């Protein structure tokens, strides 16, 4: 049967969506939900071999504060849309717990993509990244020297895209990770033991301060569902400025048309919405149209795995 639904009923202005939002806004219900969800998340991750609490403890004991001072740009002012709770952390991405748990959360997310297969978390993570890289191999820029990974978080996406092109092209790739959270960047820097990423930049993606036409590839991996649509569009314009002619902006994120996403059980979509404040905006946003308005030639939108879509836009 053909699936014509462009978005899940639990997002946007539908009755179900409004009901879920009301539930989330009811503080006592939300507080209980948040605690329960967190317990289940950690328990499931650890059952699958992801050392969630151990990793957090190791970071807590690591003296990472010094690294934050090194990466933080003191002139940054944080926009309102960013200073809201995300992922059940009251301080959103601007706190240590979020940064210390981001790796484990990213590995858990990859495992959820193929729930019916027996995969280690490492294999799931590799497969998640490969599905994005495969679309790029077919539809991305023909040769890549400079890569900017926007919303790099703790650097998992940055290292994966760097290694992919470095291996494909036999070295000679310069990769930069950019994020608005100095906590995430500090963890990214500590994790990048071999120093293969050229720079970790603390900046707003919509106003990077980087030089015009300095990259062939700009990536946004699992970032735009965390943004209000006008900011996504502002970032597209900034990416267009940063790309060389022939260069591409490539994104992977939740696929509003995915039957898995559309048919999530109520508990899961309620939890997902409660921890992602810009969900309604994201799931009802015409991303391809925004790419065109920002100057891009849209190349493809591909369901790159059962839950996610990859979009590529090119600067002519
Ligand atoms: C879900 S994480 C991305 C994960 C990572 N790219 C990966 O694939 O594993 C989203 C990241 O986007 C960052 N972010 C959100 N808004 C941003 C903005 N306006 N400028 C720069 N980074 C932003 C957040 O701080 C967060 O680290």
Sign of the CA dihedral running 37, 39, 42, 45: negative
Q: What is the 205 CA–ligand 1 centroid distance (Å)?
A: 9
Q: What is the 184 CA–ligand 1 centroid distance (Å)?
A: 9
- Tens of pLDDT along 263-315? 999 888 888 888 889 999 999 999 999 999 999 998 899 999 999 999 999 99
- Tens of pLDDT along 188-233? 999 998 899 999 999 999 999 999 999 999 999 999 999 999 999 9
Residue 47's nearest CA partner among 123, 104, 98 is: 104
Give nearest CA residue, ligand 1 atom 14.
151
Q: What is the pLDDT of residue 228?
A: 97
- Tens of pLDDT along 33-71? 888 888 989 999 999 999 999 999 999 999 999 999 999
240 Cβ neighbours under 8 A, 6+ residues apart: 249, 294, 295, 296, 315
User: pTM for the whole thing?
Assistant: 0.96
Q: What is the pLDDT of residue 170?
A: 87
Q: What is the 155 CA–ligand 1 centroid distance (Å)?
A: 10
**Regarding the domain delimited by 15-314, which CATH topology (the fold level of the hierarchy) does it fall under?**
Rossmann fold (3.40.50)
Give nearest CA residue, ligand 1 atom 27.
153
Residue 55's nearest CA partner among 95, 87, 99 is: 99
Q: Is the pLDDT of residue 105 over 90?
A: yes
Give nearest CA residue, ligand 1 atom 13.
151
The structure tokens listed for 314 are 């090119």
Residue 173's nearest CA partner among 133, 211, 144 is: 144
Residue 177 sits at φ, ψ, to 5 deg, of -105, 140
* Lowest mean pLDDT segment, chosen from 82-86, 254-258, 269-273: 269-273
CA distance 258 to 269: 13
Ligand 1 pocket, 82 CB below 6 A? yes
CA distance 160 to 165: 9
Residue 276's nearest CA partner among 221, 232, 205, 225 is: 225
Ligand 1 pocket, 276 CB below 6 A? no
Ligand 1 pocket, 228 CB below 6 A? no
CA distance 291 to 288: 5
**Domain extents in the chain:** 15-314
Ligand 1 pocket, 205 CB below 6 A? yes
Mean pLDDT taken over the chain: 95
Ligand 1 pocket, 156 CB below 6 A? yes
Q: What is the 43 CA–ligand 1 centroid distance (Å)?
A: 25
**Are the C-beta atoms of 153 and 102 separated by less than 8 Å?**
yes
Q: How confident is the model at residue 2 (pLDDT cuts 50, 70, 90)?
A: low
CA distance 228 to 232: 7
Give nearest CA residue, ligand 1 atom 17.
180
């Amino acid at each position: 049967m053909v699936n014509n639904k462009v978005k899940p009923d639990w997002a946007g202005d539908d009755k179900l969506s409004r009901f879920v939002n009301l539930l989330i806004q009811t503080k006592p219900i939300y507080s209980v939900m948040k605690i329960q969800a967190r317990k289940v998340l950690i328990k499931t991750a650890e059952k699958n071999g992801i050392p969630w609490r151990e990793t957090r403890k190791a970071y807590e004991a690591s003296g990472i504060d010094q690294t934050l001072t090194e990466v933080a740009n003191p002139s940054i002012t944080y926009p309102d849309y960013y200073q809201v709770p995300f992922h059940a952390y009251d301080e959103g991405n601007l706190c240590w717990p979020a940064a210390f748990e981001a790796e484990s959360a990213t590995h858990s997310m990859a495992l959820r993509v193929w729930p019916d297969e027996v995969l280690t978390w490492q294999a799931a993570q590799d497969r998640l990244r490969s599905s994005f890289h495969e679309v790029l191999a077919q539809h991305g820029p023909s040769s890549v020297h400079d890569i900017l990974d926007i919303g790099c978080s703790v650097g998992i996406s940055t290292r994966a895209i760097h290694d992919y092109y470095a291996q494909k092209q036999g070295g000679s790739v310069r990769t930069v990770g950019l994020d608005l959270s100095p906590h995430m960047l500090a963890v990214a820097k500590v994790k990048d033991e071999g120093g293969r990423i050229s720079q970790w930049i603390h900046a707003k993606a919509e106003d990077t301060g980087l030089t015009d036409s300095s990259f062939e590839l700009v990536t946004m991996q699992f970032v735009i569902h965390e943004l209000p649509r006008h900011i996504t569009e502002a970032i597209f314009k900034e990416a267009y400025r940063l790309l060389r002619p022939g260069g591409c902006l490539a994104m992977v994120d939740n696929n509003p048309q995915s039957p898995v996403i559309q048919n999530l059980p109520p508990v899961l979509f309620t939890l997902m919405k409660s921890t992602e404040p810009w969900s309604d905006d994201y799931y009802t946003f015409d991303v391809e149209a925004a790419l065109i308005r920002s100057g891009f030639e849209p190349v493809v939108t591909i369901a790159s795995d059962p839950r996610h879509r990859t979009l590529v836009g090119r600067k002519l």
